[in-house]
Copies of this chain bind each other. A is one copy, B any other.
Amino acid sequence: MTINELIRRKDLRMSTENKPYTLKVFIEDTDASGFVYHANYLKYLERARAMLLYHKGISHAQLIQEKKLMFIVKSCEIEYKKPAYFEDDLNVYTDIEEIAGARVKLKQSIVRGTEHLVKANITLACVTVQGRPIRIPPFVETVLKK
């Protein structure tokens, strides 16, 4: 392993305290270029956020049904550095940067081995099922800050 690889690995390790979400690229995710279709990385990012919430004990489905509120994406800045291919094993890292009012800001990255493929800044908003912004409930905020 070269020093550069070591540094990158260290960087990966330090870049998040949360366990990554791992996935394999299926043929459904690719397009005729042979790479993963660019919009599908947003699905990977959302799966990672859903599983993060889920592993912290919060079911988004239950939030919607019982509390009549949900998280929606308000903005997304995404940078595509390198493409992923069919059957690649990917890790998605998610760091919560800030929670304030109805908003959550996150940094996410999609990594193959030691290569950063995608970096994204995501802002979520907590809204009622009718779409009106609403303060994140304290029990959710507490869990997210853990």
Contacts and interface: CB of A to CB of B under 8 A. Distances in A.
A42 interface: yes
B129 A27 contact: no
A73 interface: yes
Question: Interface of chain A, helix or strand or loop or mixed?
Answer: mixed
A88 to B, nearest CB: 9
Contacts of A33: 27, 64, 70, 72, 129
Nearest to A120: B76
Q: Oligomeric state, in number of copies?
A: 4
Interface stretch (A5-13, A79-87, A90-98, A104-112): A79-87
A43 interface: yes
Interface residues of A, number: 41
A51 B86 CA distance: 13
Interface in A52-94: 54, 59-61, 64, 70, 72-80, 83, 85-87
Interface of A: 24, 26-28, 30-35, 37-40, 42-43, 46-47, 50-51, 54, 59-61, 64, 70, 72-80, 83, 85-87, 129, 131
